[in-house]
Structures are given as C-alpha cells and as structure tokens.
C-alpha cells in the first residue's frame, strides 16, 4: 500500500495540471523555420550553386517546378524530382570534374522549398489544412456535451459560431487558392524551356 503522502500528491496532479503548447498531429514542423537564417545548414541555401555559381539556373528551374506543380502532383513527387535534378545537373557534373560536390536529398528539398522559400500556394494550402484540423478538433471537443448523469446533450452556441467563422475563412482561402493562386501558375517563370538541360 502506498504511503498517504504519495496518494495525496497523485490526487493533486490529477486535479491541477497546466496547459502547455502542443501540436496538431499533422502540423509538426514549426522548428524548421527557426533553423533557417544565420548558420543555416540547408545544402540548398548554403551550396545552392554547388560552389561554382554554374547551377543557379538549375536551382531556378527547381523553383519553377515547385511553383508550377504545387497542388497538381504530390509534394513528395515534386521533392523527388527536384532532388533528381540537382543530382543529375549539379552533383554528378561536379563529381566528373573531380570536385567534391554536395548532395541533396528529397528531404532537403522538402525543407528548403516548404520552409526556407516562400511558395504562397503551398502556404495557403497548409493554412487550409490547419483550419480543417482545427475544425475537427473543435467539433470533437467543444460543440456537443453530454451530461454524465442524465445523458442529456447540449450544444454550445458560442462554439458553433466560432466553428462557422472557421468554416467561412476556410472557404475564402479555398477560393483564393483555386482562383488567384492557381491562375498565376507559371507567371514569372523566366525560362521558356524549363526542362531543356544540356
Ligand atoms: Zn536556409
Ligand atoms: Zn534551404
């Protein structure tokens, strides 16, 4: 049997407790933005030109791909394609010249293009997903409550109003995503032949 002191402490822990920040399960990458900046070790930020200056064009084309394909194919496919481009057009040519070349993984591309570079379409897409997960959480925990004794259920009118606001905001963002952001695809793309490598 536990000593009386321990029992009291446990009961206290259960009663009180404090709220600390936590993350939604699908929004867990907030630290990566902080890594960027002075002393950033992202190979695409640091060695974007492969140390030669010659691959600025490749990096530009990787960005074009990012801008033009976001929302059309999976992000995973984009990052794989970008990593392949870097490997083929920066890393391998340098290695053939006997130069120690940086390698870039799809994971590097994910961090760089989703956290270090601003792609407004992807940002707005992430906001939409975040609002959506907030709504789910809200619906699960705030809107309906049930009396544990009588079983009677009760709706929270204020929570419903807040949920509706989230819903409206989400819809506005979706419209913006589908209209403004999707029409701008390819604008500002300087190269007429983005895939023509030599
Ligand atoms: Zn960086
Ligand atoms: Zn970067």
Please list the alpha-helical segments (H only) found in the chain.
Answer: 4-15, 31-35, 43-46, 56-69, 75-86, 92-96, 106-111, 120-138, 157-176, 182-183
Per-residue pLDDT of 46-80, as tens digits, reads 866 545 555 578 888 898 899 889 889 999 999 99
Does 196 fall in a domain?
no
How far are the Cα atoms of 2, 10, 16, 17, 18 from residue 6, in angstroms, in the given order? 6, 6, 16, 17, 20
Per-residue pLDDT of 74-116, as tens digits, reads 999 999 999 999 999 889 988 998 988 888 999 999 999 888 8
| Ligand in closest contact with the CA of 111 | 2
| Ligand in closest contact with the CA of 112 | 2
Give 126 Cα–ligand 2 centroid separation in angstroms: 19
> What is the Cα–Cα distance from 69 to 185, expressed in whole angstroms?
8
> What is the reported pLDDT for 18?
85
Give 43 Cα–ligand 1 centroid separation in angstroms: 8
Looking at the fold, whether 45 and 114 belong to one and the same domain comes out as yes
Looking at the fold, whether 52 and 112 belong to one and the same domain comes out as yes
Share of the chain above pLDDT 70, in %: 75
How far are the Cα atoms of 29, 86, 129 from residue 26, in angstroms, in the given order? 9, 28, 9
Check pLDDT > 90 for residue 168. yes
Show the CA angle centred on residue 28, arms to residues 159 and 174, nearest 5°: 55
> What is the reported pLDDT for 148?
94
Task: Single out the residue in 118, 136, 158 at which a domain terminates.
Answer: 118
Give 192 Cα–ligand 1 centroid separation in angstroms: 28
Looking at the fold, whether 124 and 91 belong to one and the same domain comes out as no
Looking at the fold, whether 136 and 95 belong to one and the same domain comes out as no
> What is the reported pLDDT for 196?
38
Task: Single out the residue in 81, 102, 118 at which a domain terminates.
Answer: 118
Domain that holds residue 104: 41-118
Per-residue pLDDT of 114-142, as tens digits, reads 888 878 888 899 899 999 999 999 899 99
Banded model confidence at residue 184, pLDDT cuts 50, 70, 90:
low
Looking at the fold, whether 106 and 128 belong to one and the same domain comes out as no
Does 124 fall in a domain?
yes
State how many domains the chain has: 2
Looking at the fold, whether 111 and 125 belong to one and the same domain comes out as no
Give 116 Cα–ligand 1 centroid separation in angstroms: 6
Neighbours of ion ligand 2 (CB under 5 A): 42, 44-45, 112, 116
Banded model confidence at residue 34, pLDDT cuts 50, 70, 90:
low
Mean pLDDT across 25-53: 66
Looking at the fold, whether 48 and 91 belong to one and the same domain comes out as yes
Does 11 fall in a domain?
no
């Amino acid at each position: 049997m536990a000593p009386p002191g321990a029992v009291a402490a446990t009961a206290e822990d259960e009663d009180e407790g404090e709220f600390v920040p936590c993350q939604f399960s699908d929004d867990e990458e907030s630290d990566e933005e902080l890594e960027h900046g002075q002393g950033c070790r992202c190979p695409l930020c640091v060695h974007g030109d492969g140390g030669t200056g010659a691959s600025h064009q490749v990096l530009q084309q990787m960005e074009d791909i990012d801008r033009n394909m976001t929302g059309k194919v999976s992000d995973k496919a984009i990052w794989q394609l970008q990593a392949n481009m870097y490997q083929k057009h920066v890393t391998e040519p340098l290695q053939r010249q006997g130069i120690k070349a940086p390698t870039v993984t799809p994971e590097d591309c994910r961090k760089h293009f989703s956290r270090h570079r601003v792609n407004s379409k992807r940002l707005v897409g992430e906001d939409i997903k975040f609002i959506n997960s907030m709504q789910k959480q809200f619906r699960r925990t705030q809107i309906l409550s049930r009396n544990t004794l009588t079983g009677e259920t009760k709706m929270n009118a204020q929570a419903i109003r807040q949920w509706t606001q989230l819903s409206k905001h989400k819809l506005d963002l979706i419209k913006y995503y589908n209209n403004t952001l999707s029409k701008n695809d390819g604008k500002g793309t300087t190269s007429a032949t983005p895939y023509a490598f030599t």
